Amino acid sequence: MPRISNHTDFDPLRLHPQVNFQYIGPDRDIPAADLIILPGSKSVRADLAWLRANGWEQALQRHLRYGGKVIGICGGFQMLGQHIHDPFGLEGGAGSAPGLQLLEIVTTLEPEKQLRRVDGVLTLENAPVTGYEIHHGITHGPGLERPLIKLSDRCDGAISKDGKILGSYFHGLFDSTTACQALLRWAGLRAVQHFDYAQQREQGIDFVANAVEQHLDIQRINALLGLTPAKELQVQENKQLLIEN
């Protein structure tokens, strides 16, 4: 999508050894797939119009007819519903747009943004998930009676009656190894390999850190910046605090 957001949601799938993950943009044929994911968007109605203009509404219907699965995350979740209302013009001109009619939900964009860390379990296999929400939308409708995630104080997301479509506001849905395995099994992968995305990510960070340490003259850089040993220590402490948070 032209206004895709939070694309790091899909890094665990992009790196997974059993998944052929592809971003499909304009002027590309829509390939046969087991799973299609609609990502988050900074302007949901505009990206929904873009999807329609590129033939994705018919492609999704055909994909589902042939037994494929669909997931919508955040803005993609909103697109799967009956309508999206933006009475305050938060993502463009004020107005409404019909959704893809695949889930029994309606979303209204409100000025106050929902922003919070969240923990819960998938209703698929009770797999634990940890992530965050960041959205303006308030979603309601009977589709929410079949939630995807159970949180400590509420539920999130929806599962279609036929079980082929999932939607959620949850970012980080695939980060947890057990949650990712449960979702891949739901999508049709029979023998899912163990893949620890968190460990893979830490190894990547360590690789970059080691390369920096090996090839940069940190003392020379500190001298150019006029950092005294005390200032340098404070900078390191600030960096550590930033990483921990």
Establish whether 171 is a catalytic residue.
yes
Nearest Cα residue to 115 out of 74, 166, 67, 154: 74
| C-alpha dist (Å) from residue 229 to 19, 22, 125, 190, 244 | 48, 47, 53, 56, 23
Q: Are 156 and 143 in contact (CB under 8 A)?
A: no
Distance CA 182, CA 129 (A): 11
Backbone angles phi, psi at 209, to 5 degrees: -60, -40
Q: Are 71 and 38 in contact (CB under 8 A)?
A: yes
- Out of 16, 135, 171, 180, the active site residue is 171
Distance CA 1, CA 38 (A): 9
- Out of 74, 135, 136, 180, the active site residue is 74
Distance CA 199, CA 1 (A): 29
Q: Are 158 and 146 in contact (CB under 8 A)?
A: yes
Q: Which amino acids are annotated catalytic?
A: 74, 171
